[in-house]
Amino acid sequence: MKNLVAAAMFFSACAVAQPPPTAVAIRNARIVTVSGAPIAKGTVVIRNGLIESVGDGTQAIPAGALIVEGEGLTVYPGLVDALSTWGMPGSIAAGRGGTGGRGLATPTGPPSRGPEDRPATTSWIKAADEIQVNDRRIETARSAGFTSAVVFPTRGIFGGQGSLVNLAGATSEEMVLVPSVGQYITMGRAASGYPSALMGSIAYIRQIYLDAEHYRLVKEAYDRNPRGMKRPEYDRALEGVVESKRILLPANREVEIDRMLRFAAELKQPAILYGIREGYRAAEVLKKSSTPVLISLKWPEKARDSNPDDEDSYRTLENREKRRVPPES
């Protein structure tokens, strides 16, 4: 692992150094390839920040390239975190229906009375527009071998649209690869007012998509023939929902997995489930649905300062046991 981290740190340094060398060649290193067998002693050539060749060391090295001796090191493809908050600010000034902080903080306006107030919704926000390149977590992730991530704003019920970013670059423009990949949704409740329970949150999400479909149809009708029609009012919350290519829905427990699969089908939206702590209980259901999932590696652990006399539930003990990595045979 020390060798792996050393190689990753070198890549990070090359990626962010100013100005970078035109070409870099790492030779005599063990190379873990993407689609083939590992190369015991090979060479990786990087030119202008892009991998030019990967081979057994017989390929040509550009003249003037920076040579890095990789003896005893392992070079491997960069890791990708598919659901992260790296680079996301802790809070922003909230707009209509928005909340500050992570999730469901106290709203700036009066309590929401119903879905028309768009509670805990910032669906129009893109992570690409909020990425903070000086976030120390980005450097930590790079040092651990992560080179890319899909980062999401995660505040509110409709948190915003995630973006695929590279974890190296002096500006957000250099980092962003895909500005909008999907809408992050939670099943929390608003800090005050509506919704105040899980049933209310589900009802609110359902209403948002009914409103978004009507909004889309009215705009299309107006665009086809505006004569005699009132111009549709702009709604940035619904614009963000309509723009989103897919939705991310939370599901940890078995019952939640089944519920969110049904909910996604009802909404007629391409969906990805995230969490999936009890995916082992719902493996057949997930396989049948063919729904993509993002499995969190943050499994429940017993608190270090917990009361030794406290008894955990059987389900908690089972989930904790499932997180153990089986020994190699």
Tracing tokens 């119903």 back to the chain, one arrives at 114
Q: Collapsing DSSP states into helix, strand and coil, what is residue 186?
A: coil
Q: Is residue 46 part of a domain?
A: yes
Question: Tell me, what DSSP letter sits at residue 281?
Answer: T
CA distance 79 to 277: 21
- Comparing 29 with 311, the larger pLDDT belongs to 29
CA-angle at 252, arms to 249 and 254, nearest 5°:
110
Tens of pLDDT, residues 63-84:
889 999 999 999 989 999 999 9
Tokens standing for residue 27? 């030779």
Flag whether 49 is in a domain. Answer: yes
Write down the pTM of the prediction. Answer: 0.78
pLDDT attached to residue 86:
96
Alpha-carbon distance of 57 to 47, in angstroms, equals 16
The range of the structural domain enclosing residue 24 comes to 2-76
Burial class for 241, CB neighbours closer than 10 Å (0-12, 13-18, 19+)? buried
Does residue 61 contact residue 67 with C-beta atoms inside 8 Å?
yes
What CATH number is given to the structural domain containing 40?
2.30.40.10
Is 297 domain-assigned? no
| Two structure tokens written together for 271 | 């969906």
Q: Is residue 17 assigned to a domain? A: yes
Name the strand (E) or helix (H) holding 199: helix 198-224
Residue 275 and residue 39: Cα distance in Å, rounded? 35
Counted domains in the chain: 1
Q: Which two tokens stand for residue 290?
A: 């063919």
Which of 128, 121, 153 is closest to 238 using CA atoms? 121
Of 94, 78, 161, nearest to 126 by C-alpha is: 161
How does DSSP classify residue 157? S
Closest CA to 191 of 98, 324, 269: 98
Q: Is 56 part of any domain?
A: yes
Amino acid at 255: V
Residue 278 covered by a domain: no
Lowest mean per-residue pLDDT among 76-80, 207-211, 250-254, 318-322: 318-322
In a domain, 159, yes or no: no
In a domain, 45, yes or no: yes
Q: pLDDT for 147-205, tens place per residue?
A: 999 999 998 899 999 999 999 989 999 999 999 999 999 997 777 788 989 999 999 99
Distance CA 83, CA 242 (A): 21
Residues of the chain with pLDDT > 90, as a percent, come to 62
Per residue in 261-294, pLDDT tens? 999 999 999 999 999 989 988 999 999 999 999 9
